[in-house]
């Protein structure tokens, strides 16, 4: 069964990648790169946190206003229909 999987993977990926070697210390390099990326991301969030919060609040406010206007228009439509039935 393992040989069948190796043949299928070999046909899909190619023989060169099937025989690839991963250095045991490459995990350390990957960890260092991820540590740098995490540091950059946290620094970005720290410096721009107030702008991110204001953008988030503006988006939520806009969403709430659009929901309220949708509710208001439906109430106005109902009032118009009630007035027509009274006339």
Could you report the per-residue pLDDT of 8-63, keeping only the tens digit for each? 777 676 655 556 666 677 778 888 899 999 999 999 999 999 999 999 999 999 88
| Per-residue b or e along 78-87, where b marks 16 or more CB atoms closer than 10 Å to that residue's CB | eeeeeeeeee
In angstroms, rounded to a whole number, what is the distance separating the alpha carbons of residues 68 and 70? 5
Taking the alpha carbons at both ends of the chain, their separation in whole angstroms is 82
Is 12 inside any structural domain? no
Q: How many domains does the chain have?
A: 1
State both tokens at 62.
Answer: 């806009």
Is 74 inside any structural domain? yes
Q: Which segments within 1-87 are labelled E, that is strand? A: none
Residue, of 43 and 85, whose pLDDT is higher? 43
Is 26 inside any structural domain? no
Q: So what's the pLDDT on residue 66? A: 83
Domain that holds residue 50: 45-87
In angstroms, rounded to a whole number, what is the distance separating the alpha carbons of residues 6 and 12? 10
Q: Which residues have a Cβ under 8 Å from the Cβ of 75 and sit 6 or more positions away? A: none
Residue, of 11 and 72, whose pLDDT is higher? 11
């Amino acid at each position: 069964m393992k040989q069948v999987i190796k043949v299928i993977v070999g046909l899909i990926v190619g023989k060169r990648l099937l025989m690839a070697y991963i250095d045991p210390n490459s995990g350390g390099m990957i960890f260092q790169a991820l540590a740098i990326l995490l540091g950059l991301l946290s620094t970005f969030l720290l410096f721009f946190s107030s702008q991110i919060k204001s953008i988030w609040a503006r988006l939520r406010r806009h969403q709430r206003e659009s929901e309220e206007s949708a509710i208001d228009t439906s109430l106005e439509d109902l009032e118009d229909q009630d007035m027509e039935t009274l006339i």
